[in-house]
Amino acid sequence: MRHVLSKPLDTGSNSPSLAFAVVRVPFFLEPDYDETKPFIERNRDRLIEKWGGKEGWELQKRRHDLKGRGIAAGIPHFNLDRLASNSMASHRLVQHIGKRYGLNVSETLYDRLNVYYFVDGHALNDKPRLAKMAAETISELLKHNNPTGEAIMNENDILAFLDGDQGRGEIENALRALQKLGVHGIPKFIIEGSKIVDGAAGPNTFIQIFREIEERGQVTGGPIFGD
């Protein structure tokens, strides 16, 4: 996108400029796991079983270069023994924080959650621990500058939210939309609400897509996560 924005096409002086934005949608982990339990199993055990034993799992690691991809994403060490759980609670929380305090805060919280789970190995459905981490993050971000004017949620506020059901409907709708589009893994880019591009695609793939939109002068579909 940076290439397209820095070198716009000359489509005439009366043509409107187009802007691009990327909205990150967290991927739902283990939607079939029991939500009443803080965690179900260790991720290493889950993956070994999924790939038919240790040999199959080692083959998958080499085939997909998981370590190399983690390093490229700024995660030099994945905790293979992280506690796997249903991630509905964390999705509801990120969405709620985004609505209440804005995307800058929710994106920072999401980044912290990635470290919390993938590096530190904590369960995403351990609600007391999740509430503590989220409260610390929100306080750190907003205690000196809170442009929203919204009261800063403390640990008890967040735990009460997690123990409730607010926001579940939106997350379930998003999950159904992704299933309908055939998205079962990440990373994926959804452009114009329907075009799916694998995250491993090279820059020229994206440049071509955005150039086509630029030449057209408008998008042909709306966002699927507008709410």
For strand 195-198 and strand 188-191, is the pairing parallel, antiparallel, or unpaired? antiparallel
Backbone angles phi, psi at 195, to 5 degrees: -80, 120
The tokens of 166 are what?
């607010």
CA distance 108 to 140: 11
| Phi, psi (deg, nearest 5) at residue 66 | -65, -40
Chain position carrying tokens 């090279």: 202
Amino acid at 192: E
Distance CA 63, CA 115 (A): 24
Residue 28, token pair as written in the block? 């739902």
Pair 84, 41: CB distance under 8 Å: yes
Q: Would you call 172 exposed, middle or buried from its count of C-beta atoms within 10 A (0-12, 13-18, 19+)?
A: middle
**DSSP class of residue 16?**
P
Give the list of residues 6+ apart from residue 198 with CB closer than 8 angstroms, or none: 187, 188, 189
For 29, 147, 198, the CA distances from 186, given in Å and listed in that order, are 11, 33, 8
- The token duo for 134 is 């989220």
* pTM, two decimal places: 0.77
**pLDDT tens string for the chain (227 positions)?**
555 555 655 555 555 566 666 777 777 888 889 999 999 999 999 999 989 999 998 888 888 777 777 777 677 788 989 999 999 999 999 999 999 999 899 999 999 999 999 999 999 999 999 999 999 999 999 999 999 999 999 999 999 999 999 999 999 888 888 888 888 777 788 888 788 888 777 888 888 888 888 888 778 877 666 55
